[in-house]
A and B are shown apart, each in its own frame.
Chain A
């Protein structure tokens, strides 16, 4: 090479270095970038340029290849497919990957070709290519080899100098950095997505605010997607307004929340708040907010973050529990009061009056029975509410059960119960619980029937169900009470109920039992004309 030629070649190399560096730092799309670099290379400093990267399985992927002639590129790709490089073999590329040091063949001789591979086919191909010189440089990320870059001189017969090698190494360095950046960026993105997905699954609003609760520079740095589900507002709406979370707090709670939140912020610890949020639709949601203070390196509070959980259901359950306990204790205290009075009377001079003592003792006994029934009812309700009412189902004749139960009731109450039409059908049910339902309906009917008016019981088949009815000729139940009569603790505060104060639990329990048998309970009644209670059960087919 003449001095002029050398200088030109050197200039070309520098221009290539400058351009390639620009390309490598411009984009995070690694394949695109490397392909562009290889294209620029073949337009100025080499005839062939290719880049290989080691994939996660340990094989080599050709991520870029260029030559001025697109046909040759096609051919090279096909060749690559046919003869994938074997990294365990003794090839130059394998050596570069193993040692992390470049391989430089400024002048390729037949001997070198023969030494590089055993395969005669490849030897022929290399001859076909007309290779003159080759530079293979390693691509590294923090010292670890992740691939190679190849510069080949062929038709142009350009001679590669040591300077060319240095420039190739510099390109390889910058390519390594570009690849690392791109991988880090991907990592950060997938991490962020992963965290967002994780947070989206938290059944609460996860949030973060920088700035003190009172400052105007306060800003919401994060709010999870759950706000959409809980309140109907999108995260975007939140980010637009730094005091969004505060603005949707129920008016009556705002002052208190502000005060308590500020206290937590200045104390630098953590705390829990309860308040109400108003949803986009205008509904109220009860919130329990767990707040954690964000501090800077000097320990000064700079923000707060936390999770807001919807406790509306929990509060409703607690309220119902309290209500239940209050009702239950009230119910239990009533018979206790009577027992106490009669016990007192028994202890006094009544001791010597046998007739009176017998009477009082029987009263006490009655009350104790009442108490026992109450306790059982309360236990049943508790079981129903906690889903622990286990049914022991068996096949039996409904007619037999009705007959037995009615007989027993007739003996105990000495009342008149007529079985007007009881068809013989079989059911698959909990015998004891069904008996409980029958007794409940029968006792109610007897209680509310005038003396001597008989209570009628029917059982009739209706396609795939059997419908049982208990009819009384009592005072009847007005329409407004009919809706609610199956509710727990509902007492019919009516004229007729004042005569026979009820407990309000029996029908609720019976209804629940029937429901658990996939049946239904209902009533027909008219004020002054009496009532008929019905329940249906699925029939057992006679097979």
Chain B
């Protein structure tokens, strides 16, 4: 079973994504604290990470860079989600593997998850 880690500081989105992705048969870990991303990745060992761009406190970009710079985590695909207008450019710059603007078609999200 494919494991997905979802990181978003908005509780409602987090809940929606967990329910939605789990219903497709994936195992989901959902966290709201960006700071805890790295340790969650180490613990949960996901096949894919869905990460919000504008997290309160720790910046989404920073998290991606950190993940991509470490040997154990750099091969895990990271997809950035955001409602922010200029986020797609930044997603490319920091090395994310994909970008989905909010709000999105759930089917599109599933496609991206399947692809990676």
A contacts, CB < 8 Å to B: 326, 329-330, 333-342, 344-345, 348, 350, 360, 363, 366-367, 370, 491, 493, 497-499, 501
B contacts, CB < 8 Å to A: 9-13, 15-17, 19-20, 23, 32-33, 54, 56-57, 83-85, 102-107
- What DSSP secondary structure best describes chain B's contact surface? loop
Contact check: which of A335, A340, A497, A501 meets B104 at CB < 8 Å?
A: A340
Distance of A344 from chain B, by nearest CB (Å): 4
The interface residues of chain A lying within 8 Å CB-to-CB of B17 are 341
A498 touches B33 (CB 8 A): yes
Which of B16, B33, B54, B107 has the most chain A CB atoms inside 10 A of its CB? Answer: B16
B106 touches A344 (CB 8 A): yes
The interface residues of chain B lying within 8 Å CB-to-CB of A345 are 16, 19-20, 23, 106
B15 touches A363 (CB 8 A): yes
Distance of B114 from chain A, by nearest CB (Å): 16
Selected A-B contacts with CB under 8 Å, 13 pairs: A330-B84, A333-B102, A337-B83, A337-B104, A338-B10, A341-B13, A344-B106, A345-B16, A345-B20, A491-B56, A498-B33, A501-B10, A501-B56
Q: Closest 8 CB pairs between A and B?
A: A333-B83, A341-B16, A344-B106, A337-B103, A338-B12, A337-B102, A336-B103, A340-B103
The interface residues of chain B lying within 8 Å CB-to-CB of A336 are 102-103
Compute how far the CA of A330 lies from the CA of B103 in the bound complex, rounded to whole angstroms.
10
Compute how far the CA of A491 lies from the CA of B10 in the bound complex, rounded to whole angstroms.
13
A493 touches B15 (CB 8 A): no
Contact check: which of A330, A338, A497, A501 meets B16 at CB < 8 Å?
A: A338
The interface residues of chain B lying within 8 Å CB-to-CB of A370 are 12
B33 touches A366 (CB 8 A): no
A498 touches B102 (CB 8 A): no
The interface residues of chain A lying within 8 Å CB-to-CB of B104 are 337, 340
Compute how far the CA of A335 lies from the CA of B16 in the bound complex, rounded to whole angstroms.
11
- What DSSP secondary structure best describes chain A's contact surface? helix
B85 touches A338 (CB 8 A): no
Compute how far the CA of A344 lies from the CA of B105 in the bound complex, rounded to whole angstroms.
8
Closest to A359 in B: B19
Contact check: which of A330, A344, A366, A501 meets B83 at CB < 8 Å?
A: A330
B56 touches A367 (CB 8 A): no
Distance of B113 from chain A, by nearest CB (Å): 13
Distance of A504 from chain B, by nearest CB (Å): 10
Compute how far the CA of A345 lies from the CA of B12 in the bound complex, rounded to whole angstroms.
14
Distance of B52 from chain A, by nearest CB (Å): 10
Contacts A333-B103, A342-B19 known; list 10 others, CB within 8 Å.
Answer: A329-B85, A330-B54, A330-B85, A333-B102, A340-B105, A341-B19, A345-B20, A350-B23, A497-B56, A498-B33
Closest to B34 in A: A498
A498 touches B12 (CB 8 A): no
Distance of A503 from chain B, by nearest CB (Å): 11
The interface residues of chain A lying within 8 Å CB-to-CB of B19 are 341-342, 345, 360
A348 touches B13 (CB 8 A): no
A340 touches B85 (CB 8 A): no
B10 touches A334 (CB 8 A): yes
A498 touches B10 (CB 8 A): no
The interface residues of chain B lying within 8 Å CB-to-CB of A499 are 32
The interface residues of chain B lying within 8 Å CB-to-CB of A344 are 20, 105-107
Compute how far the CA of A149 lies from the CA of B85 in the bound complex, rounded to whole angstroms.
87
Closest to B10 in A: A334
Compute how far the CA of A473 lies from the CA of B54 in the bound complex, rounded to whole angstroms.
29
Contact check: which of B13, B33, B57, B85 meets A337 at CB < 8 Å?
A: B13
Closest to B110 in A: A344
The interface residues of chain A lying within 8 Å CB-to-CB of B12 are 334-335, 338, 363, 366-367, 370
Compute how far the CA of A370 lies from the CA of B11 in the bound complex, rounded to whole angstroms.
13
Compute how far the CA of A326 lies from the CA of B87 in the bound complex, rounded to whole angstroms.
12
